[in-house]
Amino acid sequence: MTNASPKANRAQTAHELVLRQRTFFRSGQTRDIAYRTEALKRLRRGIEEHRQQILDALRADLNKSEAEAFSSEIRLVLGELDYTLEHLEDWAAPRVVPTSSQIENATSTIRPEAYGLTLIIAPWNYPFQLAFSPLIGAIAAGNCAVVKPSELTPNVSKLTADLIRGCFQDEYIAAMEGEVETSTELLREKFDYIFFTGSTPVGKVVMRAAAEHLTPTTLELGGKSPAIVHKDANLRRAAQSLVRGKFLNAGQTCVAPDYLLVHEDVREELLREIKLEIADKYGEDVLENPDFPRIVNEKNFDRLNRFLNDGQTLLGGRALRERLAIEPTLLENIDWESPVMQEEIFGPILPVMTYTDSELNSVLEQIVDRPKPLAFYLFTRDEQLQNTVLDTVSFGGGCINETLLHMSSHELPFGGVGASGMGSYHGRQSFETFSHHKSVLNRRV
């Protein structure tokens, strides 16, 4: 043992790991389709074998019930694995494309190839899903990878590292646990691709670090995602969807509806339906529900608790700091300048504002004037209004007459735009994101 400081050891470990992975990648093994396929199958077996430990870790860190943890974390990863295994051979094949008529006796192909060494930095809100979903794309494309799980969910972090070490040699796929200093040391290394999921401020830090090496980067961030309920909406179904989308994981979801805009003609009926749905889903006293997720830590709890003083409380409003629990809360008498409207809430608090027919255009202008959201939700049967809103508002992805479900489709790329992120993944798009597309013209001589 040396007397080097922990920081020095961490830097040395990160650097040595990158060197080992660089050497292994250059051996060419990861480019073999059979090798990638076996790696994905090995990962799938590892997840199945550790299913209960994953559920236990998510309960310990975030108090997620087994049903919620499986559906929002494990099932999504297994589905992504199965879809990728089904299509990988087709995705990886060179694609023949037309050649310009001005060039005779030539063929043109696009050859997907791995970038090389990839760094995946995962967040704490869905710590299992958001570590392993991008890893599937990195493996499928033929890369080596280092996964940095979030230190804010220590049980899932340890399990992630153990699972990866049990499935792979670290010169191929590795996990590095640690605090912010570990992420900083990793970002100093030269990776060939960086995939980050987290907050916009930290995303800027990652992008600055990536710029030092001109490393291409995907940023999966967040933002204030609106939900609009128009006067012709199916209010019962809208309430069910809004409650599920907003209060899943106690609102700690990057694509959760961040605020609600409801037409004044249906405001009271919608709010009644929302209250009924909350009681039906979580019980009359949510703070007594042992399965309602907790806020991740005291810092985030205190930040959210300050928002409870905004406007007036329509429903909920209670918070227990000793349990890091906040019940589903609706706030009224909120305007665009209220503190709760100045940053992403990321908790079980839903501000409610109303609009009239004559105010709808100004509402859309207010949304457009703000940073582009990661998600957008519109509840209406009016197809003309649907098209108007879709043509007017820029957002990462979203739903009409639903919430959240767009991110579960393998056929829909998931990602942000502007302040809510750059790049996308899921399904084939994960493979494309982690691949460089090499264009080759071959002239016959």
Task: Kindly list the catalytic residues.
Answer: 220, 254
Q: Are 228 and 378 in contact (CB under 8 A)?
A: yes
- Under 8 Å CB-to-CB from 197, ≥6 apart: which residues? 121, 122, 123, 130, 134, 220, 221, 254
Q: How far apart are CA 244 and CA 257, in angstroms?
A: 10
- Under 8 Å CB-to-CB from 338, ≥6 apart: which residues? 310, 311, 351
Q: How far apart are CA 212 and CA 11, in angstroms?
A: 17
Q: How far apart are CA 215 and CA 207, in angstroms?
A: 9
Query: Both tokens of residue 255?
Result: 């694509």
- Under 8 Å CB-to-CB from 231, ≥6 apart: which residues? 263, 265, 266, 357
Q: Are 99 and 441 in contact (CB under 8 A)?
A: yes
Query: Both tokens of residue 82?
Result: 């199965």
Q: In terms of C-beta distances under 8 Å and separation of at least 24 residues, what long-range contacts does 304-311 make, across chains too?
A: 304/345, 304/346, 304/347, 304/349, 306/339, 307/331, 307/339, 307/340, 307/345, 307/347, 307/349, 308/349, 310/334, 310/338, 310/339, 310/340, 310/351, 311/338, 311/340, 311/351
Q: How far apart are CA 294 and CA 324, in angstroms?
A: 6
Three-state SS string over 292-329 comes to CCCCCCHHHHHHHHHHCCCCEEEECCCEEHHHCEECCE
Q: What pairs with residue 379 in β-bridges?
A: 229
Q: What 3-state DSSP class applies to 61?
A: helix
One-letter amino acid at 30 equals T
The CA distances from residue 305 to 96, 122, 308, 327, 349, in Å, are 57, 26, 5, 11, 10
353-379 burial string, b = 16+ CB within 10 Å, else e? bbbeeeebeebbebbeeebbbbbbbbb
* Number of C-beta neighbours around residue 177 at 10 A: 16
